[in-house]
Structure 1
Amino acid sequence: MDYSSSDEDLSIDDFSDLEGEQASSIPHSSHAPDPTSSELDGNSHYQEPYPGMEFASDSAARTFYNAYAQKLGFGIRVARSRTERRKGVEVLVMKRFVCLKEGHHKKKAAAPAPAPAPAASESASKKKRKRLSMRDGCPALMEVVRRGPDKWVVNKLVLDHTHVVVSPDRVRELQQLRLSSKYIQKQNLLNEMRMKVFGKDGDARILLDYFKRMQLKNKGFFYAIQVDSTNSVTNAVWIDAKHRVWYTYFGDAVTFDTTCIQNDNMPPLACFSGANQHGELVVFGYALVLDKTELGFRWIFDTWLTGMGKRHPISITTDQWRSLANAIVAAFPQTYHRFCRWRIFSRCKNKLSDLYFKFPTLHEEIKRCVNEPDNVEIFEVCWKSLVDKYDLSENDWLGFLYGIRNKWVPAYLTTSFFAELSTFKRPESIKQLCRGHCNASKVSLMNFIIKFDELMESRCEKEAQSESTVMHPEPVLKTDMIMEKQAASVYTKESFEIFQSELVESLHHYTVKSQDGPYCKYSVERVGETTHTRYQHTVFFSPPEKKAWCNCNKFSLSGILCRHVLAVFFLTGVILLPEHYITKRWTRMARMGPDLELQDPEQESCCENSVSMRYDDLVRDAMRCVEKGASSPVCYKIAKEVIRNALREIARYEENFARCRPGESGKV
């Protein structure tokens, strides 16, 4: 498997200074000279690479070759790398470093020129300006291959260049030239993505026609398209009316899913999504992402918020891109932002492939170290133990992840709600849902969107059909507690199972009251715990209010009470779950009721003076009525009658208004 170095190094390069943290320098191999040593200090003395030269890692080889190149006066890049699957893990086995002038600029195959039209304008016949390329076929390279867990050997080596190398003081100029070349490559990539999405002519009319058709079918459909200075599409956002309804109920925690964008076989489609009362994926809108810059993402977020009536979520989860992070800060100043740890775990397989090959259990140990601790103290102890056990204190990637731990480790994210029932279960993504349902590599963007919409509609249909059975479930109870029966009657099957697990676990905890007062203090500890996760949790409890706070903060994070608070409840005689601890979004009543409390009073007053705002507000309420009315034949009849009565009332008012003011009958 070959991949470019720019893709491989995207995360750590883009985020090395995030949150004021710097990634530590890569440790040099004991076999290679230190680039900062005296051997490379003078202009006349430096060590050349040689066949068979050994390094402790591919990073050490790159550091050495880069220092060597700077002394000679040329730039380098990673041309190729290869991985192999060993013991079930993708392991990096080869890397090739080349001169910046290696290779030749690839010319696109010329398409047969059509016959010129008689009235063709002079401007249309002009040829495109040829862009200069800094590549001239230089063969200089150094290739290293893995010969063991800590042994990389120079396998191929070419020292001669086909060009005059620049003096050391011009290396900075060379790097600037490379940056300019990267900008050109970026523009070319943007054009290639447009061609991939819209065809060789780059015609976006298909997408626009789709938006117009959807808006004709549904007046609540919202869309917006961003164009650049040449009127070429850069990004687009669209939101269906049902997406707005789902956002009304489950928009407290949002994920901006970019898994499709990072897959070359899928269209550059991003999805605003969340979790419904069953913990399943629901969609809040889509974005076509061609421009992945900070400004591009900022436009996407601002536009999406406009479509959602400027209602901000409590939290948002994204991948760890700098452009995304900066855009989130600007567009969602009051929203808590975190990085998706499951994407980080996936990236670890590439970044730590050497270590995973050497220590097969390390991947699972890292996941347990991150997922299991429910507070900062436990995580810190666990992380230090892991680093010491495998001697990882000098590892760049883990040092970088530790530096941004407050952005992705659950123990640091307990003050905000993320609608995450379990820290061990990976949430659904577009990529996962489409696997087996739509072959993304063989369908166009529009067909992909249509197929995915059909898939989501099918899921909603199944959910609606099973609603009658869900209304009266018969869960298997594990205790004779009244609280368990109460929870079984209000929670959905999925959320009840999580609560039930916490309830049963609470029976294995020892609780001691350590302080009296308005908020009594309790110490809670698991009986017989001997592992590294042993920890004494602290719970503060107010008996009159039946309100409690635990330092694990599970309720704040997930909306389900933790075992520690439940243990205190049993000790103090609280036999029923207080209503303020039953989070509606996890119950069977999540989408029940008129939800009038969701109406912003300030927005309601604005609607009195704006036709467009009244329109949007009525569409949202009407869509709620439609969604509930379609759930069963009985609800359908009720909704139909209510809508007809409303129309009759409006028609009666218009008729009376016209009689009172015949001269202004056209104004309503």
Structure 2
Amino acid sequence: MIIDYANFGDVMTFDTTYGTNKELRLLGVFTDFNHHRELTVFGAALLYDETVDSYKWLFESFVVAHVGKRPKTIVTDQAPAMAKALNEVMPNTYCRLYTWHIMQNGIKHLGNLIEDGSSFLQVFKTCIFVFNDEIEFEKTWEDMIDTYAIHDRSWLDSIYKLKRKWVKCYMKNELTLGMQSTQLNESLNGDLKDYLKSDLDLAEFFAHFDWLGLKNSPLLKQAVQVYTTTIFRMLHDQYDLASTARIKNLKEDLLVHTYTVEFPHKPGEFIVSYDTVDKTFSCSCRKFEIVGILCCHILKVFDSLNVKTILDMYILKRWTREAKSGCILDNRRINVEEDVTLIATQRHRRLCPKLVQLASQAADNEVALL
């Protein structure tokens, strides 16, 4: 993230509309495009609340983490607390408003007038996106107000005062990289919904957040949903090794295809057999048989055969998040179900000594009480 921001942090977006974790904290994410116009994440934080002080802490911490560098342009929503904090922490940064948020607020204040397909919405979008000339915008805006005779104009008047932050013709001198302000919002929001669930604790939440960069791999996207954190890391290591391996030789018999897999500049070869009838794989390293996860050699052959997900037969339930789901029978043949509160209780027991130690340290520091 630090390297990406150093290279591409001239323009960025910041949004807090994404889902929360089970502690009910909003996730704020800093993003933008890289040199391939691909989504790049510069940082993220779970916010305690949406006050000026919380936003100031976040923006100041972000600047410190990135060695004092501030963006030339930041795209945000209309939250007054956020705007005030940004003005104090990044006074020389141009703040552009999300048109997506403007549209959502428009629905709240104008109702059906701004619904999809309405003539008002078409004119409104034209004012935002089309005009390069300020005079044309001003005339069309006035005509729109007169034509639709809106009874309560307070919201329209309030956003008109901020026109230099969201109307195309007023942003001609600002660096925006040609980005429509909804693009990153929609893209990342979809990915976050896939990876981040509301029942994750803080550690799990950010572990999953770190894996957002894997979203282009269907196999890893499947694995992060299926496996526990530890097992996913193990599989990811094998996946990474597979990317460096190469298939040295392929022997195609009638029923079985045999692949010889090797690594550049490393001694040794591994034999992967593929049964074309049963659609099964085996490797001379025997990792799956011994450990219970696929080896990098089979994953390399998966790539060669265009296999994009892990076959069900190679997912051991004992390594999955559902390993303890279902019922078992005790010695009296009675169903025994897992205590759903046990994990939380165990976590509470582990955290208590650490929290007591933290409280003791804080008690000795007068600043901590302020």
- Name 2:91's counterpart in structure 1: 333
- The 1:422–1:401 alpha-carbon spacing in structure 2 relative to 1, beyond 3 Å, is closer
1:254 is displaced (CA, Å) by: 1.2
Given the alignment, which residue of 178, 183, 189 partners 1:420? Answer: 178
Rounded Cα–Cα distance in structure 2 between residues aligned with 1:246 and 1:382: 41
1:448 has 2:200 as partner: no
- Name 1:320's counterpart in structure 2: 78
- The 1:454–1:299 alpha-carbon spacing in structure 2 relative to 1, beyond 3 Å, is same
1:301 has 2:59 as partner: yes
Query: 8 Å contact 1:438–1:451 — kept in the other structure?
Result: yes
- The 1:330–1:424 alpha-carbon spacing in structure 2 relative to 1, beyond 3 Å, is closer
SS at match of 1:420: coil
1:455 is displaced (CA, Å) by: 2.4
- Name 1:410's counterpart in structure 2: 168
Residue identity opposite 2:94 in structure 1: Y
- Name 2:32's counterpart in structure 1: 274
- The 1:397–1:451 alpha-carbon spacing in structure 2 relative to 1, beyond 3 Å, is same
Residues 213-232 of structure 1 aligned to structure 2 (within 5 Å): none
Rounded Cα–Cα distance in structure 1 between residues aligned with 2:218 and 2:174: 32
Query: 8 Å contact 1:376–1:411 — kept in the other structure?
Result: yes
| Structure 1: runs of 5+ lacking an equivalent | 1-242, 463-629, 639-668
SS at match of 1:291: coil
Query: 8 Å contact 1:260–1:266 — kept in the other structure?
Result: no
Residues 44-443 of structure 1 aligned to structure 2 (within 5 Å): 243-260=1-18, 267-356=25-114, 360-392=118-150, 395-422=153-180, 427-428=185-186, 430-435=188-193, 437-438=194-195, 440-443=197-200
Residue identity opposite 1:389 in structure 2: T
SS at match of 2:95: strand
- Superposition CA RMSD, Å: 3.6
Residue identity opposite 1:333 in structure 2: P
Alignment length (residue pairs)? 228
1:293 is displaced (CA, Å) by: 1.6
Query: 8 Å contact 2:22–2:201 — kept in the other structure?
Result: no
Residue-by-residue CA offset, 1:133-184 (whole Å, 9 max, x unaligned):
xxxxxxxxxxxxxxxxxxxxxxxxxxxxxxxxxxxxxxxxxxxxxxxxxxxx
Rounded Cα–Cα distance in structure 2 between residues aligned with 1:393 and 1:412: 27
Query: 8 Å contact 2:22–2:199 — kept in the other structure?
Result: no
- Name 1:580's counterpart in structure 2: none
- Name 1:50's counterpart in structure 2: none
Tell me the TM-score normalised to structure 1 length.
Answer: 0.31
State the structure with more CA Rg.
1
Tell me the TM-score normalised to structure 2 length.
Answer: 0.53
1:402 is displaced (CA, Å) by: 0.9
Query: 8 Å contact 2:133–2:169 — kept in the other structure?
Result: yes
- The 1:422–1:272 alpha-carbon spacing in structure 2 relative to 1, beyond 3 Å, is closer
| Structure 2: runs of 5+ lacking an equivalent | 220-240, 246-262, 266-370
SS at match of 1:249: helix
- The 1:391–1:267 alpha-carbon spacing in structure 2 relative to 1, beyond 3 Å, is same
- Name 1:509's counterpart in structure 2: none
Residue identity opposite 1:332 in structure 2: M
Query: 8 Å contact 2:13–2:30 — kept in the other structure?
Result: yes
Query: 8 Å contact 1:259–1:429 — kept in the other structure?
Result: no
SS at match of 2:198: helix
Rounded Cα–Cα distance in structure 2 between residues aligned with 1:459 and 1:358: 31
- The 1:271–1:425 alpha-carbon spacing in structure 2 relative to 1, beyond 3 Å, is closer
1:271 is displaced (CA, Å) by: 0.8
Residue-by-residue CA offset, 1:265-291 (whole Å, 9 max, x unaligned):
974111111112233321101112113
Rounded Cα–Cα distance in structure 1 between residues aligned with 2:184 and 2:143: 25
Rounded Cα–Cα distance in structure 2 between residues aligned with 1:371 and 1:271: 25
- Name 2:328's counterpart in structure 1: none
1:358 is displaced (CA, Å) by: 12
Query: 8 Å contact 2:20–2:27 — kept in the other structure?
Result: no
1:303 is displaced (CA, Å) by: 1.1
Query: 8 Å contact 1:371–1:424 — kept in the other structure?
Result: no
1:395 is displaced (CA, Å) by: 1.5
Rounded Cα–Cα distance in structure 1 between residues aligned with 2:20 and 2:133: 32
Query: 8 Å contact 1:280–1:428 — kept in the other structure?
Result: no
Query: 8 Å contact 1:345–1:367 — kept in the other structure?
Result: no
